[in-house]
Amino acid sequence: MAAGKQRFSVITDGNLDQLRKLINAPIEDSVEPWCYKATRDNIRHWAHGLGDDNPLWCDPQYAAASRYRCLVAPPSFVFTLNRAFSGYVDGLAGVHAMFAGIDVTFHRPMLIGDRFTTKAWLKELVEHQTRFAGRSIQQIYHCDFYNQREELVAEGDSWCFRTERDTARERGTKYDSVKKKAPVNYSREDLERIFALYEAEEVRGKVPRLIEDVKPREKLPTMVKGPMTVAGFIAFAQGWGGLYIRANKLAYKQLRKHPGVGIPNKFGIPDVPERVHWEDDLATLVGTPAAYDYGPERMLVDVAPFDELDRREGFLRHLEVKIRRHNPVGDTHCT
């Protein structure tokens, strides 16, 4: 492709004004969520999609001995319950969307058998100037999550950044140093060090960590996720359901409803923008160094150390995460 050639849509004042009209309007006509109910299979698939075998999520016998007396869904299970909260954005057709943050308060655990409804709306649009793609729009959604008793389970905001793919590729400077690096190649010793961290993960079980036992600036145990692979990204999509991944007739119906979603692949077939997570060719066209992890997937890695601190008795009250950079395939994430 010749440098400077425009392939994708751009952000205009007109389409931004149209999007602003949706602020505070309830989201009624949206794609259905991946999950309506916390079943044993749904909970396990979600946890395994994160590479997490926490027995509180996955082992009924272990969970029966906990304070909850049954399997519990991870707090992050809320991502399966509403697509808008997970990054299924409206407006700005053909403009890239990158999931970039959450600020969520949790009120109640999500237990096996619970059924959920949600209320969501576009909360705010914030314009930024970025090194990644120049003019970018932070698109913030709010969502409330309720169980079958109409109790508020969780509430919070999530956001994507809308970026011009051509601008990011041609003029973005954020990843200049990354793009100049030699490809990652792991030695046997590198892998052994990573695998040793997996082996060292501790399941506290019924031994609680009390607040008086936690000291300011205490270093948490090192946890690792990776090395990042396309297989890992696909595993996450299996547990989460993805945003646009559809097959055959359902893919056609999605394209009919949202023509801007389809990006022609090498066969000329309009295909999903989520290919940036497994196709280097498309990922580099949108300005990133290579195929990269899902934003929600990365945020949930950050919760893992707290799961490890107390797997039976603890309860996560508040989580705020801001994504600053992509994790390209080949990266290893340590917390």
The string of DSSP codes covering 74-89 is: -GGGGGGT-HHHHT--
- CB burial of 291-312 (b: ≥16 within 10 Å; e: otherwise) equals bbbbbbbbbbbbbbebbbbbbb
Interatomic CA distance for residues 60 and 86, integer angstroms:
28
CA dihedral 309, 314, 317, 320 (to 10 degrees): 20
pLDDT tens for the 335 residues of the chain, in order: 445 578 899 999 999 999 999 999 999 877 799 999 999 999 999 999 989 888 999 999 999 988 899 999 999 999 999 999 999 999 999 899 999 999 999 999 999 999 999 999 999 999 999 999 999 999 999 999 999 999 999 999 999 999 999 999 999 999 988 888 888 899 999 999 999 999 988 776 666 677 777 788 877 778 888 999 999 999 999 999 989 999 999 999 999 988 889 999 999 999 999 999 999 999 999 999 999 999 888 877 666 555 544 455 678 899 999 998 888 999 998 87
Tokens 């926490």 sit on residue: 54
Domains and CATH numbers, the chain: 13-334 (3.10.129.10)
Secondary structure (3-state) at 333: strand
